[in-house]
Structure 1
Amino acid sequence: MARQLSPVGLEFIETAPVRLVFAREVSAPPAAVYRALAEDVTGWPAWFRAVTLCRPTGNGAGREVKLLGGVRFQESILAADPNERYAYRVDTVNAPGLRALVEEWHLTPAGTGTRVQWTFAADGPAPLRTVLKAARPGVAKAFKDATGSLDKRLSTSPTQR
């Protein structure tokens, strides 16, 4: 059963009780990375292993996301700033515990490539916050693997660059 989360805004990225922030440089330029994040939404499962389905909803104003293990999200896009930032809020989820969740992908030019920074901002009861903080190494690995796969995908696909 889907549960409604708090309708937080972009400010939550800075104020969330749990903030996991990861960064990595990729060789693709910001425009290509942004297209993969914000415009090729259905392509996420090809480079982010934990994502089994990602599709736009509401004429692009939201997304439906399914993860390995059966977790499902309905999201609202909070920011879609071409070549700079893509952020979304989870509105409903079928997993217990979360009260609020916002994710932001921030893109900065780095030489001929891009510095990709991902912020996972969440709130929930104290036990969940503890678990999320303890999961930092696993989430870091997932981010590293995903951005590595994305970089490889973009470097081998001339239409993505």
Structure 2
Amino acid sequence: MARRLRSVDLDFVRTAPLRLVFAAEASAAPTVVYRALAEEVDGWPSWFTAVTAARSTGAGAGREIRLKGGTVFHETIVAKEPGERYAYRVDETNAPALQALLEEWRLAPTATGTRVQWTFAADGPAAFRYVLRLGRPALGRAFRDAVRNLDKRLAAASA
């Protein structure tokens, strides 16, 4: 059963009770990485293995994301800055205990490609936040694997 979450704005990425921040390098340029994140939403399952389905909604103003295990997120895009930042908040989900969630992807050029930084900003009961902190290493691995997979996909597409 889907539940409505608390609506948060972009500042939540700095003020959330739980902030998990991860970074990885991609060899593609920031504009190319951004396009895969923000404009090719339906391609997410091909590189982010936790995602089983992804589609844009509301003429690109939102997304519907389905994860392994059956979790569903209905999201609103809150920042689209080509080559720099892509962020969205979850408005509805069937995930228990989650009260608010905003994810931000920041991109920065490097000498060899792009530094990709992902911030997972969440709120929920103390026990929920504790469990997420315990899961930080697994979430970090999933993110790094996703960036590695995306980088391979982008390299193959440009070859």
Identity level (%): 62
Q: Pairwise CA RMSD of aligned residues?
A: 0.8
Letter in 2 for 1:15: T
The alpha carbon displacement at 1:158 in A equals 1.7
Letter in 1 for 2:101: L
* Alignment of structure 1 residues 5-154 onto 2, 5 Å: 5-154=5-154
Structure 1 runs, 4 residues or longer, greater than 3 Å off: none
Structure 1 CA distance for aligned equivalents of residues 114 and 42 of structure 2: 22
Structure 2 CA distance for aligned equivalents of residues 77 and 94 of structure 1: 19
The alpha carbon displacement at 1:95 in A equals 1.5
Structure 2 CA distance for aligned equivalents of residues 112 and 131 of structure 1: 36
The alpha carbon displacement at 1:111 in A equals 1.0
Cα-to-partner distance string for 1:12-43 (whole Å, 9 max, x where unaligned): 00000110000011100001000000000000
Q: Which runs of 5+ in 2 are unaligned?
A: none
TM-score in terms of structure 1 length: 0.97
Cross-structure match for 1:3: 3
Q: Give the secondary structure class of the aligned counterpart of 2:95.
A: coil
Cα-to-partner distance string for 1:45-76 (whole Å, 9 max, x where unaligned): 00000000100000000000000000001000
The alpha carbon displacement at 1:100 in A equals 0.2
Letter in 1 for 2:136: R
Aligned length: 159
Letter in 2 for 1:40: E
Cα-to-partner distance string for 1:116-141 (whole Å, 9 max, x where unaligned): 00000000001000001110000000
Cross-structure match for 1:156: 156
TM-score in terms of structure 2 length: 0.99
The alpha carbon displacement at 1:112 in A equals 3.6
